[in-house]
Amino acid sequence: MNKENLHWKNTLTKILLAGALSCSLTACVPVMLVSGAVGGSMAASDRRTVGMQTEDKIITLKGENIASKTSGEKGHVNVACFNRKILLTGEVDSEATKQAVANEISGIENVQAVVNEIAVMTPSTMGSRSNDSLITSKVSASFLAEKDLHSNAFKTITERGTVYLMGRVTEREGDHAAQVAAGVNGVEKVVKVFEYITEEELQKMSVVKQSNNNTEWDTPPDELR
């Protein structure tokens, strides 16, 4: 393991430990409530509706089940879904299997598009997949460090060193995110799988979000009164 990978792993570990220590010292909120609050915050800042986020999760689960059955034991297929668009990555043993997986998954109810990036080759090793997970974490952390990028607007998937970026973003945001991701050590290629919105649409989203936030705090839940 090189020094940079070790640094990132140590940093992520320290963040998790710091969060756990903070909870244990304050003893003010149960861990499950904290996790729920964080998850709720991320869901609220997502540019999809809560209903769409739920639907994407359901589509993903269905897609993973289909991919596993269609590709068989020799295949390794990952399914990612964002706003009803599916991204397929991984490896299968033949072109016929690659197409069969995509065809079967495209038949899932409400799926609007399938981007088939499956490679016909020997499945990646566990070491390669572990490295991909680390790259994804590093890319996500890099987005957090950029003040003009909304990290929760992006979904990052890494396969054999290639980073795929999904999300509802403007072209400006998409280009910036791709540049940031390309600068992360270990990234060999960046592929944009975005759903583009205009700057005007983004501004309207921000206004609606701010309005919703103000409304929520005008009538705080019982446990905060």
Tens digits of pLDDT across the chain (225 residues) = 556 555 555 555 555 455 544 444 444 444 333 334 344 445 557 899 999 999 999 999 999 999 999 999 989 999 999 999 999 999 999 999 999 999 999 999 999 999 999 999 999 999 999 999 999 999 999 999 999 999 999 999 999 999 999 999 999 999 999 999 999 999 999 999 999 999 999 999 877 766 665 554 454 555 444
Q: What is the DSSP letter of 147?
A: T
User: Which residues, in sequence order, are CB contacts of 95 under 8 Å at separation 6+?
Assistant: 120
CATH 3.30.1340.30 domain span(s) along the chain:
50-120, 124-202
Query: Which CATH number does 50-120 carry?
Result: 3.30.1340.30
The third-level CATH classification (topology) of the domain covering 124-202 is Histidine-containing Protein; Chain: A; (3.30.1340)
205 in helix, strand or coil?
A: helix
Segments in the chain forming alpha helices (H):
3-26, 31-45, 50-71, 95-106, 126-145, 171-182, 199-218
**CB neighbours of residue 223 within 10 Å:** 7
pLDDT at 223: 46
pLDDT at 28: 44
- Whether residue 196 contacts residue 47, with contact meaning beta carbons closer than 8 Å, is answered with no
pLDDT at 134: 98
pLDDT at 206: 79
pLDDT at 213: 57
Backbone phi, then psi, for 55, in 5-degree steps?
-65, -40
